[in-house]
Amino acid sequence: MIAIQDPPDREIEIDVWIPNPYANRAALAWPWLRGVRLVLSLMAGTEWIPPLVGPHVTICNARGAHNICTAEWTLGAILAMLKYFPMYYEIQREGKWKRRFEAPSHYAEITGDKRPIYPPVMLEELTGKTVLLVGHGSIGKEIERMLTPFHTHVMRIARTARSAEQVRAVSELDTLLPRADVVVLILPSTDETKDLIGSRQLRLMKQGALLVNAARGPIVNTEALVEALHSGRIRAAIDVTDPEPLPEVHPLWSCPNLMITPHIGGSSKEFSLRGMRTASGEVRRYLKGEPLENVVQAAI
């Protein structure tokens, strides 16, 4: 195994390349590599790799390596928004206990439920809510597993329907959106999924529904999301944005009812170990001439 600098200081002949997880750094190394037949990404998303290496290289992703950390981020984001943690963190920083009574008005505004409730509503519960998983691959299934103790009603969407798993086709997205309290996006970035969630889909979401994007930024139309958040109809928690990195002056930063994390949902210490184990397994299969497990592009 050779550790490759970004960029290398000389041309390097290798069969198998494990690129730097940061695409811009990996792109610096690629022009110096010769003879690459197999690329093993440590990430689940590989959309940037085919344009870089071309069609004559086999590409595998690290399916499964991100499952736990991304699913935990997703669950944490859902709970943080339903428990109003961003607002309570602001209260902590200001040291003003009585600001807690902003919670009932926040609940009324975002949900549209303006009935007098006593004691006042200071947070919401996940238990019993309807969650729509848009994407039902290995990470989506792990999210569903983690939701199980909360007795949520889970609806599932994937590119194609799978009746045995009660997974509906993505063509039914607009039909299911109005029924969901929480919409989780966990699907790859492709030409087909770009702007999958636009103005129409955001209008179809019920008042106060929570949109969680743990997938890729371009799946959600950014201008439509900014407009929907300012309208007060929905709330969102996102780990990915379009553009990314998000510029300092971008309007998303100041949107109400929004929590942003800077694309860190898959970045745990344990993920790195799982990613390398996944890659090493593919290397062993490659050397033995066995079928590879996580092929996303077969060489032509």
Q: How far apart are CA 94 and CA 278, in angstroms?
A: 46
| Residues with a known catalytic role | 216, 244, 263
Q: Which residues contact 300 (CB under 8 A, 6 or more apart)?
A: 55, 56
Quote the DSSP letter at residue 75.
H
Residues 6+ apart with CB under 8 A from 189: 45, 47, 215, 216, 217, 218, 219
Angle in degrees, CA 247, 251, 257, rounded to 5? 120
Please give the single-letter amino acid code of residue 281. Answer: G
DSSP bridge pairs for 212: 184, 237
Helix (H) or strand (E) holding 297: strand 295-297
How far, in Å, are 4, 18, 46, 156, 235 from residue 210 at the CA level?
42, 36, 27, 16, 5
Q: Are 282 and 60 in contact (CB under 8 A)?
A: yes
* Residue 33 φ/ψ region, left for φ over 0, alpha for ψ in the -120 to 50 degree band, beta for the rest: beta
What does the alpha-carbon distance between residue 35 and residue 97 come to, in Å, rounded to a whole number? 64
Which residues does 223 contact at the CB level (< 8 Å), separation at least 6? none
Question: Which secondary-structure segment (H or E) carries 132?
Answer: strand 130-134
Q: Do the beta carbons of residue 108 and residue 114 sit within 8 Å?
A: yes
